[in-house]
Structure 1
Amino acid sequence: MYFGASASALQRLVEQLKLEAAVERIKVSQAAAELQQYCMQKACKDALLVGEPRSCALF
């Protein structure tokens, strides 16, 4: 599969795989619940939901 790949490319691949292996995994249902809770906590400050009358600072 990796025939002809350079040593540096293989080293980068190993480092990437190490990073991915170290990621803490949680169930999708738990992640969804946490995301929903976060969104509900921040909803009162969300300009799209609150409808603040001021214009966008980018324009």
Structure 2
Amino acid sequence: MSTCSSLIMAQKTVKQLRLEASVRRIKVSQAAAELKTFCLQNAHKDPLLTGVPSSDNPFRPPKSCVLL
């Protein structure tokens, strides 16, 4: 029984290795350049960089009420 399970395990490993070998790869310098370009093109949409208008901010501090 252990021979059968080790054979199945080896087949799964070979299948995974073949899958990983078929993945298209690019150079790190190219990936970094593409990532930089993407970030610069989308910076105007990033609320962490541009901020959130107080009218749209659900986490703004509550206004205090004064009763007279």
Query: Which category describes the TM-score, using the shorter chain as reference length?
Result: 0.7 to 0.9
| Unaligned segments of structure 1, at least 5 residues | none
The count of corresponding residues between Structure 1 and Structure 2 is 53
Aligned-pair CA distance for 1:8: 2.1
Structure 1 segments, 4+ long, off by >2 Å, are none
TM-score using structure 2 length:
0.65
Percentage of matched positions with identical amino acids: 55
TM-score using structure 1 length:
0.73
Q: Radius of gyration: which is bigger? A: 2
| Unaligned segments of structure 2, at least 5 residues | 60-68
Aligned-pair CA distance for 1:47: 0.9
For residues 47 and 20 of structure 1, the distance between their equivalents in structure 2, rounded to whole angstroms, comes to 36
